[in-house]
Amino acid sequence: METMPASSPQTVSRVRVSAGMLAMLIGAAAVLLHALVAVFTPYGIFRDELYYIACSKRLAFGYVDHPPLSIVTLFVARNLLGDSMFAIRLVAALLSGLTTWLTGMIALRMGGSRFAVAIACLAAMLTPISIAMHSVYSMNALDHFFWTLGAWLFLPLVEMTKEGEPSLETSVRQKYWWLLLGLLIGLGSMNKIGMLWFAAGIAVAVLFTPLRRQLRTPWPWVAAGIAVLLFLPYVLWNAANDFAHLEFIRNATTMKYGGISRLGFLRDLFLEVNPLYVPLFLIGLWYLFLHPKGKAFRALGMVFLVAFAILFLNGHSKAEYLSPTFPMIFAAAGVWLESVSQRRPSVLRPVLVVWVVAAGLLLLPFAAPVLPAAAFVKYTDLLGVSHPNSESRNLDVLPQFFADMHGWEDFAKTISKVYLSLPEKERRDAVVFARNYGQAGAIEYYADRYPAPRVIAVHNNYWLWGYPEQIGTVIVIGGEEKTHRASCDEAVEAAVFRSSYVMPYENNQTIWICRGLRRSIKVIWKEEKVYI
When computed from its CA atoms, the radius of gyration of the chain, rounded to whole angstroms, is 26
- Residues 244 and 311 reside in one and the same domain: yes
- Residues 128 and 275 reside in one and the same domain: yes
What pLDDT is attached to residue 255? Answer: 87
The amino acid occupying position 532 is I
Do 239 and 293 form a contact (C-beta atoms < 8 A)?
Answer: no
In a domain, 380, yes or no: no
Last residue of a domain, one of 358, 374, 390: 374
- Residues 256 and 344 reside in one and the same domain: yes
In a domain, 402, yes or no: no
The total number of structural domains that make up the chain: 2
What pLDDT is attached to residue 3? Answer: 36
In a domain, 403, yes or no: no
Task: Select from 336, 363, 389 the least CA-distant residue to 127.
Answer: 363
Q: How far apart are CA 326 and CA 531, in angstroms?
A: 30
List the beta bridge partners of residue 351.
none
Do 189 and 199 form a contact (C-beta atoms < 8 A)?
Answer: yes
* E runs forming strands in 268-397: none
In a domain, 393, yes or no: no
DSSP annotation of 211? G
In a domain, 8, yes or no: no
In a domain, 272, yes or no: yes
| Residues contacting 385, CB < 8 A, separation 6+ | 366
What pLDDT is attached to residue 384? Answer: 85
What pLDDT is attached to residue 5? Answer: 45
DSSP annotation of 165? S
- Residues 447 and 319 reside in one and the same domain: no
- Residues 338 and 233 reside in one and the same domain: yes
* E runs forming strands in 31-91: none
In a domain, 305, yes or no: yes
Q: How far apart are CA 63 and CA 246, in angstroms?
A: 11
Last residue of a domain, one of 374, 392, 424: 374
Do 299 and 154 form a contact (C-beta atoms < 8 A)?
Answer: yes
What pLDDT is attached to residue 162? Answer: 67
What pLDDT is attached to residue 166? Answer: 61
| Residues contacting 344, CB < 8 A, separation 6+ | none
In this structure, the strands spanning 431-434 and 454-457 are parallel
In a domain, 391, yes or no: no
Provide the b/e sequence for 106-125 (b: ≥16 CB within 10 Å): bbbbbebbbbbbbbbbbbbb
What pLDDT is attached to residue 359? Answer: 97
- Residues 334 and 227 reside in one and the same domain: yes
In this structure, the strands spanning 431-434 and 474-477 are parallel
| Residues contacting 116, CB < 8 A, separation 6+ | 19, 107, 108, 110, 331, 334, 335, 337, 338
Domain coverage including residue 58: 15-374
- Residues 361 and 248 reside in one and the same domain: yes
What pLDDT is attached to residue 2? Answer: 36
Task: Select from 136, 141, 140 the least CA-distant residue to 44.
Answer: 136
Task: Assign 274 to helix, strand or coil.
Answer: coil
- Residues 107 and 63 reside in one and the same domain: yes
List the beta bridge partners of residue 474.
431, 514
The amino acid occupying position 84 is S
Verdict on whether the full-model pTM lies above 0.75: yes
- Residues 349 and 425 reside in one and the same domain: no
- Residues 366 and 436 reside in one and the same domain: no
- Residues 434 and 352 reside in one and the same domain: no
Q: How far apart are CA 151 and CA 113, in angstroms?
A: 18
Which pLDDT tens digits describe the chain residue by residue (532 residues)? 333 345 566 766 787 889 999 999 999 999 999 999 999 999 999 999 999 999 999 999 999 999 999 999 999 999 999 999 999 999 999 999 999 999 999 999 999 999 999 999 999 999 999 999 999 999 999 999 999 999 999 999 998 876 555 655 667 889 999 999 999 999 999 999 999 999 999 999 999 999 999 999 999 999 999 999 999 999 999 999 999 999 999 999 888 887 889 999 999 999 999 999 999 999 999 999 999 999 999 999 999 999 999 999 998 899 999 999 999 999 999 999 999 999 899 899 999 999 999 999 999 999 999 999 999 999 999 988 876 565 555 567 899 999 999 999 999 999 999 999 999 999 999 999 999 999 999 999 999 999 999 999 999 999 999 999 999 999 999 999 999 999 999 999 999 999 999 999 999 999 999 999 999 999 999 999 999 9
Instruction: Label residue 155 exposed, middle or buried (CB < 10 Å: 0-12, 13-18, 19+).
Output: buried
Last residue of a domain, one of 374, 390, 416: 374
- Residues 235 and 166 reside in one and the same domain: yes
